Amino acid sequence: MSSPPTRYARSGDVSIAYQVVGDGPVDLVLVQGFATHLEIQWESPLFQHFFERIGSFARLILFDKRGTGLSDPVPSVPTLEQRVDDVRAVMDAAGSERAALFGISEGGPMSVLFAATHPERATALILYGAMARTTEAPDYPWASPADALRESVQEFLAPYWGVDSEALVELFAPSLVGTPGVVEFNSRIERSAASPSMVGVLMAEP
């Protein structure tokens, strides 16, 4: 299956790219992690199988978060409330009154907040590899201090972003190290999902 049509939802003054896959009886909004690109993801058999499997029993709604992929870039770190409103805008544009929220990685917090603030529109909440926040806070001492996170981004992420190197594959998907084509695809989707400067902006969020 090739990439389904990409459409845009308006959230304030920002355009959010989204796609709809399948026509099952249940709507499911997939809130993915850090940086994505809706159309290029479909070139990966792994992503394609994942999306088609969900689309076989649900109406799957995918989107690129503001600042990434085909959605508008942003000049500063989006607030969690802005991101939650992006989910609402995408659901409205897709004609979805109620949906299950599937939050992966840092898509978890915005899924949780959406379910808490719009309970009438959330039928279920699914979290995978999620966290409450990415930086330390008085009521959340388990995460890294903000300065340490920024330093790690500059040392371990920024130098390898979009570069044909196994470094980030080893960091994020170690089981795929050595798989033919993975490094090239990973580098391409990184370059398409966000520029190095945009990565610095987005990684500043709590």
Answer whether residue 206 shows pLDDT above 70.
Answer: no
Cβ-proximal residues to 60 (8 Å cutoff; 6+ apart), any chain: 20, 21, 22, 28, 30, 51, 54
**Residues whose CB is less than 8 angstroms from the CB of residue 133 and which lie 6 or more positions away in sequence, other chains included:** 109, 140, 143, 206
Task: Provide the pairing of β-strand 7-11 with 14-21.
Answer: antiparallel
Question: What tens digit of pLDDT does each residue of 135-193 get?
Answer: 888 998 888 888 887 777 777 777 888 888 888 888 888 999 999 999 999 999 999 99
Nearest to 187 by CA among 205, 167, 204: 167
Question: In this structure, what are the phi and psi dihedrals at residue 118, rounded to the nearest 5 degrees?
Answer: -130, 55
156/147 Cα distance (integer angstroms): 14
According to the model, what pLDDT value does residue 204 have? 58
**What pLDDT does 12 receive?**
93
CATH architecture entry for 7-202: 3-Layer(aba) Sandwich (3.40)
The answer to whether the CB of 75 falls within 8 A of the CB of 36 is no
- Ranked by mean pLDDT, which of 48-57, 70-79, 161-170 comes out on top? 48-57
Residue 205: is its pLDDT beyond 60?
A: no
Instruction: Give the pLDDT mean for 118-134.
Output: 93
> In terms of pLDDT, which residue wins out, 147 or 99?
99
Beta strands (DSSP E) in 71-162 are: 99-104, 122-128
Give the H or E element holding residue 29: strand 26-31
3-state secondary structure of 182: helix
Secondary structure (3-state) at 109:
helix
Write down the domain spans for the chain: 7-202
Q: Position 33: which residue type? A: G
Side-chain half-sphere of 128: how many Cα atoms within 13 Å? 9
